[in-house]
Amino acid sequence: MGPASAKPCELNVETTPDTKLRSDNPSGGILRRASRNLAFLAGGKSISGLLSLVYLALAVRALGVDAYGQLILIYAFAQLVSAVVQFQTWQPILHFGTPAIAEGRHGDFRRVVRFSLGLDAASALVGMLVVGGGIWLIGPHIDLSPEIMPLASAFGIAVPFMIAGSPNGLLRLFDRFDLLLLEDNVEAVVRLIGALAIFVFGGGLAAFVLVWALSVIASGSTCGFLAWREIRRRRVWGTNPTPTPALPIKAQFPGIWSFVWSTNFNSTLKLTRTHIATIIIGGAIDATEAGLFRIAQQIAEALAKPLKLMTPVIYPELARLAAARDFALLRQFNRRALMISSLGALGGFGLLAAIGPIILDIIGGDQADGAYTVMLLLSAGALIRISAFVLEPTLISLGHPSVALGIQTVATVVYLPLLFLMLPWLGFNGAGFAAMTIAILTVVLQFAAVTFWFPSTSASCSQSVEGVTP
């Protein structure tokens, strides 16, 4: 950390109501702006979270826990594959697109977007093929019935619509978090309508697989359309040429490939831990236990959603502060964000501990009662991570994505053997203990890394930080 007497960098910026707010109460101003975006997302995500619990209850009641477990195993495999093959293209769009838009370099901005879209397209093709073919290999080992295998393979068609990093990043860049609500809500509404129709008229597991696929397609299509409409509305895709069209992308944007690979591996490791547990439980135990685990996981995720939303909301703000090299304000904001998110996490866990049995009974009846312990363990793990949500985006914004990647690598290397060790001993509750243990380890490592690598507030405004300046 820098010395207390150091002066923050002085920036020559135009005075606006927003900058005045920052000067009067800087971190409070950013928190208020982030809170405005969070209010949009929290309102919509709360609705989608409630809808998800309703369609979850309908699916479990209509199918039973065993068939619901098969549905979740198919979906978890598609999510796992998409997590592995996709690049987190929203991150380079924010990291390199933010200064390009701010400086009026629309040609550079368009090139970053094209680069990101190309990565999305390649990932979508690979993911579709892997899911379509891979399910035939893994299906018999994770308790999938033979009659559902053809439809499970066809679910690969929906995978390209899971890979919407570029349109998602564009909406974040343009501060249109209100539009991001539609993507999640569209998916929830399609599933709710489909689940209700099947519950009333019948249809079985095959019908639910079809509804889940349609919901993914509808959600991804909505996000893409809204991002395209926003680009046209802002007229940043005009005739302004790229200043150096002959340069390779890595020459025009130094560090872009290392940034992309680091953030990709980082996200892959985190998402893999989320989805692979369901698949491992299906293989090591059976589809029924996988279904109960997913019920607990979905309740935990619904609880954590309002706090989890802070990461995409705050990343653009951190990217702007890092680009402006306003490290004193960045430090002040980190402290306030950690305090607020920790208090929110504690309150959320207390609420779930009190009403969890009621929610489980509504969703799955007596069958779901056994998921209470693992639900609390998963919730504790999720809320521990979310209470320190600001740490990893801070590392990436400061130009240290490789450090964030290293932390996630360590966490995954520890998690997988811990999971295999605990499952035979504690059943699916072992997966909950493993998740909570890894959450604690991850937060401790992230806090140590931010403390060690945080620049001094006396750093010159012209000093370069790896990956911060494009």
Q: What is the 3-state secondary structure (H, E, C) of the chain?
A: CCCCCCCCCCCCCCCCHHHHHHHHCHHHHHHHHHHHHHHHHHHHHHHHHHHHHHHHHHHHHHHHHHHHHHHHHHHHHHHHHHHHHCCCCHHHHHHHHHHHHHCCCHHHHHHHHHHHHHHHHHHHHHHHHHHHHHHHHHHHHCCCCHHHHHHHHHHHHHHHHHCCHHHHHHHHHCCCHHHHHHHHHHHHHHHHHHHHHHHHHCCHHHHHHHHHHHHHHHHHHHHHHHHHHHHHHHCCCCCCCCCCCCCCHHHHCCCHHHHHHHHHHHHHHHHHHHHHHHHHHHHHCCHHHHHHHHHHHHHHHHHHHHHHCHHHHHHHHHHHHHHHCCHHHHHHHHHHHHHHHHHHHHHHHHHHHHHHHHHHHHHHHHHHHHHHHHHHHHHHHHHHHHHCCCHHHHHHHCCCHHHHHHHHHHHHHHHHHHHHHHHHHHCCHHHHHHHHHHHHHHHHHHHHHHHHHCCCCCCCCCCCCCCCCC
Amino acid present at 445 = L
- Model confidence at 37: pLDDT above 70: no
Task: Tell me which of 126 and 370 has the higher pLDDT.
Answer: 126
Q: Which tens digits make up the pLDDT trace of 63-86?
A: 988 899 999 999 999 999 998 898
Q: How confident is the model at residue 33 (pLDDT cuts 50, 70, 90)?
A: low
Total residues belonging to the chain: 470
Name, of 149-153, 295-299, 422-426, 447-451, the range with top average pLDDT: 149-153
Residue 107 has a pLDDT of: 84
What average pLDDT does this structure show over 274-286? Answer: 83
Task: Tell me which of 85 and 365 has the higher pLDDT.
Answer: 85
- Model confidence at 468: pLDDT above 80: no
Cα angle for residues 444, 450, 452 (degrees, 5° grid): 100
Q: How confident is the model at residue 306 (pLDDT cuts 50, 70, 90)?
A: low
- Model confidence at 308: pLDDT above 90: no
Q: How confident is the model at residue 25 (pLDDT cuts 50, 70, 90)?
A: very low
Domain edges within the chain = 34-239+247-453
Q: How confident is the model at residue 470 (pLDDT cuts 50, 70, 90)?
A: very low
* Both tokens assigned to 111: 């090139």
Q: How confident is the model at residue 10 (pLDDT cuts 50, 70, 90)?
A: very low
- Model confidence at 57: pLDDT above 50: yes
Name, of 28-32, 233-237, 248-252, 425-429, the range with top average pLDDT: 425-429
Q: How confident is the model at residue 450 (pLDDT cuts 50, 70, 90)?
A: confident
Residue written as tokens 């809320």?
383
Name, of 13-27, 147-161, 417-431, the range with top average pLDDT: 147-161
Residue 30 has a pLDDT of: 57
- Model confidence at 8: pLDDT above 70: no
> What pTM was computed for the model?
0.73
Residue 461 has a pLDDT of: 41
Residue 456 has a pLDDT of: 56
Burial classification of residue 104, based on how many CB atoms lie within 10 Å of its CB (0-12 exposed, 13-18 middle, 19 or more buried): exposed
Task: Tell me which of 358 and 470 has the higher pLDDT.
Answer: 358
Residue 223 has a pLDDT of: 92
Q: How confident is the model at residue 413 (pLDDT cuts 50, 70, 90)?
A: confident
How far, in whole angstroms, is CA 57 from its chain's centroid? Answer: 24
Q: Which tens digits make up the pLDDT trace of 209-256?
A: 999 999 999 999 999 999 999 888 887 776 555 555 557 787 788 888
* Both tokens assigned to 116: 């990101």
Q: Which tens digits make up the pLDDT trace of 380-406?
A: 988 888 888 888 888 877 878 788 888
Query: Considering the chain, what percentage of its residues have pLDDT values greater than 90?
Result: 27
CA distance 393 to 391: 6
- Model confidence at 196: pLDDT above 90: yes
Least confident range from 259-263, 301-305, 308-312, 442-446: namely 308-312
Q: Which of 260, 262, 276, 258 is nearest to 438 (CA)?
A: 276
Residue 224 has a pLDDT of: 92
Residue 265 has a pLDDT of: 79
Residue 442 has a pLDDT of: 92
Let me know: does 390 contact 337? Beta carbons within 8 Å: yes
Residue 301 has a pLDDT of: 77
Q: How confident is the model at residue 458 (pLDDT cuts 50, 70, 90)?
A: very low
CA distance 414 to 161: 32
| pLDDT, the chain, mean | 80
Q: How confident is the model at residue 11 (pLDDT cuts 50, 70, 90)?
A: very low
Residue 466 has a pLDDT of: 39
Q: Which tens digits make up the pLDDT trace of 346-357?
A: 888 888 888 888
Residue 16 has a pLDDT of: 37
- Model confidence at 314: pLDDT above 80: no
